[in-house]
Amino acid sequence: MDFEVRRDDLHETRVVEGDPPELERGQVLLGVDSFGLTTNNITYALVGESMNYWSFFPAEDGWGRVPMWGFADVVASEADGIEEGARVFGYLPPGTHLVVQPDRPSPSQFVDASPHRAELPAAYNRYARVAGDPNYTEENEDHQMLLWPLYFTSALIDDFLDDEEFFGARAVVISSASSRTSSALAFLLSKRGGAEVIGLTSPGNVEFVESLGVYDKVVPYEEIGSLPKEPAVYVDMAGNAKVRTAVHEHFGDELKHDAVVGTTHREELGGAKGLPGPKPKFFFAPSRLKKRTEDWGGEEVNRRISEPWLPYVEWTRGWLEVAHDSGPEAIERVYLEMLDGKSDPSVGHVLKPGG
């Protein structure tokens, strides 16, 4: 089974049934067990054309399979070094099966070397084997699917800000403070210290964000003018043009850097022409990961990024409710809810493709 969406009309969906594909020598058939579905996956669909997200799991002309993060089991293997029954975590289609062509297998991972993925960012082609992952626990699987990719991005931003000595700023202002990527960043920055962490959010989410306890200050979007004018860095998860303008106009020359990370406010995006202060700069997690892998090597990157992971997961247990469901109808329902922006940041959806 494959759940597909029309690339030029993301509200149109269909389910395609078929037999699991036949394997060639060197290939492995993964049976998709579960995946998380968050706003992040919707972004993959929204920028699918410009950033090649449709190329990971090709579908018939005009249709696309939105990439998800989840767990899968090896159900058949024609590849050396990959045994049937192995469980892996990685980038998966919203369907029951995926054929991969493992390369460089090690006890902790392999890379999918399928030719159509060769030019795509390496961060998405790696499959972690749970048996070789010191951070893996079965009881954390839901949290890993829902939070790991977002936490990973936040950990890279945290490292980036530290590396740049906060660009000389005393405060880090984060939009869409209620989003999981933003709250993970606030969690890491609050542990690191060295800068005040300020969250910007919608009026209806102020109470929730305050209850998280990781922001020093939480301010609704309309009240940006109430913040002290001090040297600040803006980490923009919302992509909202009005909010961006308000932040730049308020801080002016005191704004030391604007890192554009997400687009949760996709109805209110816009250009950045004529803004006072620094030019917004896109922060792309896979590019930063590539740089850190060159600096430190893959193992050291994983070690450093994983260090606060378990305390972070423990913290999220206090506020994240996990909702489980299965089958194509549930996938369609949750996907359309997310697409229409009806995402509740305190609920995480874990889906099984099999009914």
**Least Cβ distance, residue 206 to ligand NAP (angstroms):** 9
Report the alpha-carbon distance of residue 188 to residue 226 in Å, rounded.
Answer: 25
Which of helix, strand or coil describes residue 48? Answer: coil
In 3D space, the residue among 187, 193, 157, 166 whose CA is nearest the CA of residue 285 turns out to be 157
**Site for ligand NAP, residues 208 to 237, rule: CB under 6 A:** 237
Per CB under 6 A, the segment of 28-36, 53-61, 263-271, 325-333 that binds ligand NAP is 263-271
Q: Is 284 in the site for ligand NAP (CB under 6 A)?
A: yes
**Least Cβ distance, residue 99 to ligand NAP (angstroms):** 26
Contact (Cβ atoms closer than 8 angstroms) between residue 143 and residue 305: no
Q: Is 316 in the site for ligand NAP (CB under 6 A)?
A: no
Binding mask 336-355 for ligand NAP (x = CB under 6 A): -----x-x-x----------
**Least Cβ distance, residue 3 to ligand NAP (angstroms):** 19
C-alpha distance across the termini of the chain, in Å: 10
- For ligand NAP, the closer CB: 56 or 283: 283
Q: Is 180 in the site for ligand NAP (CB under 6 A)?
A: yes
Q: Is 181 in the site for ligand NAP (CB under 6 A)?
A: yes
Per CB under 6 A, the segment of 162-170, 224-232, 255-263, 320-328 that binds ligand NAP is 255-263
**Site for ligand NAP, residues 19 to 38, rule: CB under 6 A:** 38
- For ligand NAP, the closer CB: 277 or 345: 345
The DSSP secondary-structure symbol of 217 reads: E
Measured from each CB, the residue nearest to ligand NAP is 341
* Residue carrying structure tokens 């089991």: 73
The binder of ligand NAP chosen from 153, 186, 258, 315 (CB under 6 A): 153
The binder of ligand NAP chosen from 13, 77, 264, 302 (CB under 6 A): 264
The binder of ligand NAP chosen from 248, 265, 292, 349 (CB under 6 A): 265
Per CB under 6 A, the segment of 56-64, 80-88, 115-123, 280-288 that binds ligand NAP is 280-288
Per CB under 6 A, the segment of 171-179, 297-305, 308-316, 319-327 that binds ligand NAP is 171-179
Q: Is 150 in the site for ligand NAP (CB under 6 A)?
A: yes
Positions that interact with ligand NAP (CB under 6 A) = 38-40, 43, 150, 153, 176-181, 201-202, 205, 237-238, 261-266, 283-285, 341, 343, 345
